Amino acid sequence: MATAKQGDVVRVHYTGTLDAGDEFDSSRDGNPLEFTVGENALLPGFEEAVTGMTIGDSKKVTIPHEEAYGARQDALIQKIERATIPDNIPLEQGMQLQAATPDGGPLILTVMEFNDDSVTMDANHPLAGENLTFDIELVEIV
């Protein structure tokens, strides 16, 4: 039976949970996730877990935060003037806004708190500081 290896296009179902058991993502209610093993489109630990699996295999893998989205960094929390955000954007705590990095790439910012004068934004990835556990099932090697 074929095993998943570098360069293979694979389809997997997965469920991702945090240490406390909270689910943060899943493909179980939809289409399987399709990716090419070794293209580094996903977290390396996820791709490594799929490598060597055969169709129908299931595996649970925990990726420590250092190998996922890193530690939370206080330096990525900034207070900005409310006037820098267009008036037509109604702010809500926890909402995400997109900005551009200096090189033009996307930067997702989470609104932590705000008032009429300022907005505190968090540029940490929402899963920064979290260990991620994935239950993975290899559905198909294309």
Report the pLDDT averaged over residues 13-40: 97
As a whole number of angstroms, the distance between CA 66 and CA 131 comes to 8
pLDDT in tens, 42-90: 999 999 999 999 999 999 999 999 999 999 999 999 999 999 999 899 9
Domain boundaries, the chain: 9-69+128-141, 74-122
Residue 141: CB atoms within 10 Å: 18
- For residue 6, the model assigns a pLDDT of 96
- pLDDT above 90 for 101: no
Q: What CATH number matches the domain at 74-122, 3.40.50.11540, 2.40.10.330, 3.40.50.10470, 1.10.3720.10?
A: 2.40.10.330
pLDDT in the model for residue 62: 98
2: tokens are 């074929």
Asked whether the domain spanning 74-122 has the same topology as the one spanning 9-69+128-141, the reply is no
| Percentage of the residues of the chain whose pLDDT score is greater than 90 | 90
Domain 9-69+128-141, CATH among 3.40.50.12780, 3.10.50.40, 1.10.630.10, 3.40.50.720: 3.10.50.40
pLDDT recorded at residue 9: 98
| The predicted structure's pLDDT at residue 40 | 93
What's the confidence (pLDDT) of residue 68?
97
Mean pLDDT across the chain: 95
Task: Compute φ and ψ for 22, nearest 5 degrees.
Answer: -70, 130
The mean pLDDT of 96-108, rounded to a whole number, is 90
Indicate if the pLDDT at residue 1 is higher than 90: no
pLDDT score for 13: 98
Per-residue pLDDT, 87: 87
